[in-house]
Amino acid sequence: MAASKTKQEQEVPARKPIEVDDSDVLATYANFCRVTATPEELIVDFGLNPKPMGAPEVPVEVSDRIVLNFFTAKRLLHALNMTIQRHEAAFGPIEVDVQKRVKG
């Protein structure tokens, strides 16, 4: 005889994978991002810095802006953190200081 499900198992529906249609997505490269916030939202601007080492002579042109609520932002933070940890485990640490990456 099969064991009966607990009350908690009966209340939690099975998770169905979220289907995503990315057939019309536009990919953009960014080497610059700026994060600002309001009490309700997180605003992330992406752009291309033509002079990534040092201060650029012209303003960085922001090409994309993503506005997130803080719940979605926190889920994004965890997803990015997990992905970077896996990448570093496979390929080694990522150095974010440009000056340390440049070999003279």
Q: What's the rounded Cα separation, in Å, for the pair 16 and 35?
A: 32
State residue 57's pLDDT score.
83
Query: Three-state secondary structure along 21-52?
Result: CCCCCCCCCCCEEEEEECCCEEEEEEEECCCC
State residue 73's pLDDT score.
97
State residue 2's pLDDT score.
55
State residue 9's pLDDT score.
60
State residue 1's pLDDT score.
53
Residue-wise pLDDT tens digits, 23-82: 999 999 999 999 999 999 999 999 998 887 777 788 899 999 999 999 999 999 999 999
Name the pTM for this structure. Answer: 0.71
